[in-house]
Amino acid sequence: MTDSALSNQETWSLLVLFAASVAVIANTFQGDGEPLVSSLAFGGVAFSITYSLIVWLKGTFMKANLKGRDMSKVKKVEIPETMGGVCAAVYLLLMVLFMPILFYSDIKSATADLDPLDLENGHIQIDTGRVLHRFPLGKLATYLSAMLSLALVVILGNYDDFFDIRWRHKVLIPGVASMPMLAVYFLTYGITHVVVPVQLVPYLGEMVDLGSLYYVYMAAIAIFCPNSINILAGINGIEVSQSIIIAVLLLINDMVSLSKIPGTAHPATDLHLFSIYLLLPFIGASLALLRHNWYPAKVFVGDTYCYFAGMVFAIVGILGHFSKTLLLLLIPQIINFIYSTPQLFRLIPCPRHRLPHFNARSGLLEPSMTEWQQPPSIGTTWFLNILARFPLLPLIKLVKDSEGHILKSSNLTILNLWLVWFGPRREDKLAIEVTAFQLALGLMGLFIRHELALLVFSQDNRA
């Protein structure tokens, strides 16, 4: 068996999963397409295809020079890079194939008493074509806009993997890519009001209309999500594992919200179902990628995966009208971003890579350090010293010379901070712990959202 072939056991397991999933999908056409059941089966299809394609394409990617060096290993071997592109491509194509299932019952009811070829009875006007009044075009537009925004971001991720685009050039592109779905938001929903916390109601009233600022806020979410996943990266598995946890938390949020909605006619029902349809195949494709990217990684995911995953979350949050809940599930990413800002805005030198340092002797990861070519200014030294002497837990590690001048400071990512706090550890242990942290904070966020929201807001907009 070559490295680019599936083992017998893999082949049979994947074939069984694929065949069972396809059988489930085919069976749903007996009824109304059953999008929910089909979506779960699409997750199975996404897993089996992504898993196999990654194995089959590894060699091709290496030959095309799409490879990267795993820096946290004794032998810094090169492995295929940008495999998240395979994951994203499989996902996008499957989501196109999912469309007939999603709209099956709508198409059936919109055309129920129409003969599709019936020109004579006036159902189809030869000069204007036909108009299916009962077909939910808004729902179709929402779905298509989501796919377009996602595809645009995947293209950006691919270019970034090929050409290493500069941060300042690429950072705003997801905002532009979000415009199709913002346009659909404007046309189908258009609410730009935010509910004011009860404590502020006497001053601001129950609602505040943010107007066009609300669109800026949503574009900012589309910019933040992909970039924040990309900068919480650099150890095997972490990009995918954090994304799977966020997706699972969003799924839990959908299920809890659906369970609170009385009946099925509530508009929020469709929004949460839409979110579930997008997330299940995403989780399937991501699990397959994680299997290959987990320590010791056989492939890297590339920026393509980080942008792709972040945009899936932005789409689900924006089009599902629960962007604030989404932010509650991204707390580690928000902390990592805020913590990174001094380096992102070059107040502190930012090396090309900030991933933790691999100590070849111990085989463990340690905080990576950025070297100061010249001692930092008085203000920066004061700031760094405050971070280093923070009560209870230091927020940075410093190396100084005998006169107290700062020579090195640890890179400002939560991966490095974790190592500053808890000491050196193996790469997979760090990934497991940070992923568990993501899960714990996310579950807490959901608890706050669903159990404590009424302390802050006078009504739960889903109930």
Where along the sequence are the contacts to ligand UD1 (CB under 6 A)? 68-72, 81, 230-231, 233-236, 297, 300, 303, 353-355
Measured distance CA(413)–CA(335) in Å, rounded: 9
Instruction: For residue 177, count other CB atoms closer than 10 A to its CB.
Output: 25
User: Strand ranges (DSSP E) for 220-309?
Assistant: none
- Minimum CB–partner distance for residue 335 and ligand UD1 (Å): 14
49 binds, among Mg ion, ligand UD1, none (CB under 5 to 8 A by kind): none
Instruction: Kindly identify the residues of this chain, within the stretch 206-265, that bind Mg ion according to CB under 5 A.
Output: 230
Q: Shortest distance, CB of residue 67 to ligand UD1, whole angstroms?
A: 8
234 binds, among ligand UD1, Mg ion, none (CB under 5 to 8 A by kind): ligand UD1
Pick 84 or 367: Cβ nearer Mg ion: 84
CA dist., res. 311 & res. 224, Å (int): 9
**Which partner in Mg ion, ligand UD1, none is near 355 (CB below 5 to 8 A by kind)?**
ligand UD1
CB of 292 to ligand UD1, least distance (A): 12
For CA atoms 281, 284, 288, 291, the dihedral sign is positive
CB of 99 to ligand UD1, least distance (A): 32
For ligand UD1, the closer of residues 163 and 203 by Cβ is 163
* Shortest spacing between CB 72 and ligand UD1, in angstroms: 6
**Least separation in angstroms between CB 71 and ligand UD1:** 4
**Region for residue 394 given its phi and psi (left: phi exceeds 0; alpha: psi -120 to 50; beta: otherwise):** beta
Q: How many residues does the chain have?
A: 463
Which 8-state DSSP code applies to residue 245? H
Q: Which does 68 bind (CB under 5 to 8 A by kind): ligand UD1, Mg ion, none?
A: ligand UD1
- Of 313, 68, 81, 60, which is closest to residue 174 (Cα–Cα)? 313
Residues 68-103: b if buried by 16+ CB within 10 A, e if exposed: eebebbeeeeebbbbbbbbbbbbbbebbeebeebbb
Query: Applying CB under 5 A, does 336 fall inside the site for Mg ion?
Result: no
- Burial of residue 279 (CB within 10 Å: 0-12, 13-18, 19+) is buried
For residues 285 to 324, the per-residue mask of contacts with Mg ion, x marking binding by CB under 5 A and - elsewhere, is: ------------------x---------------------
69 binds, among Mg ion, ligand UD1, none (CB under 5 to 8 A by kind): ligand UD1
Tell me the C-alpha distance between 339 and 328, whole Å.
17
Residue 231 contacts which entry, ligand UD1, Mg ion, none (Cβ below 5-8 A, type-dependent): ligand UD1
Min. distance of Cβ 411 from Mg ion in angstroms? 15
The residue among 354 and 357 lying less far from ligand UD1, judged by its C-beta, is: 354
Q: Are 180 and 145 in contact (CB under 8 A)?
A: yes
Which strand (E) or helix (H) includes residue 370?
A: strand 369-371
Q: Is 2 left (phi over 0), alpha (psi -120 to 50) or beta?
A: beta
Task: Indicate the residue among 178 and 343 with the shorter CB distance to ligand UD1.
Answer: 343
Is 13 or 370 the residue whose CB approaches ligand UD1 more closely? Answer: 370
Going 107 to 95 to 288 to 437, the CA torsion angle's sign is negative
**Closest approach of Mg ion to the CB of residue 242, in Å:** 13
- Binding partner of residue 258 among ligand UD1, Mg ion, none, CB cut-off 5 to 8 Å per kind: none
Q: Which does 70 bind (CB under 5 to 8 A by kind): ligand UD1, Mg ion, none?
A: ligand UD1
- Alpha carbons 226 and 233: distance in angstroms, whole number: 12
Could you tell me the two tokens for 153? 């971001």
User: Which residue number, 43 or 234, has a Cβ lying nearer to ligand UD1?
Assistant: 234
Closest approach, Cβ 303 to ligand UD1, in A, equals 5
Q: Which residues contact 333 (CB under 8 A, 6 or more apart)?
A: 224, 225, 228, 229, 232, 242
Size of the site for Mg ion (CB under 5 A): 2
398's tokens? 């410093």
Q: In angstroms, what is the minimal distance from the CB of 303 to Mg ion?
A: 4
- Rounded distance, CA 313 to CA 150, Å? 10
Q: Which is nearer to ligand UD1, 22 or 331 (CB)?
A: 331
Name the residue type at position 69. Answer: R
Nearer to Mg ion, 66 or 196 (CB): 66
Q: Which amino acid is present at 124?
A: I
Q: Which residue is nearest to Mg ion (CB)?
A: 303
Residue 453 binds which entry of Mg ion, ligand UD1, none, with Cβ cut-offs from 5 to 8 Å by kind? none
405 binds, among Mg ion, ligand UD1, none (CB under 5 to 8 A by kind): none
d(CA 304, CA 162): 10
Residues of this chain that bind Mg ion (CB under 5 A):
230, 303
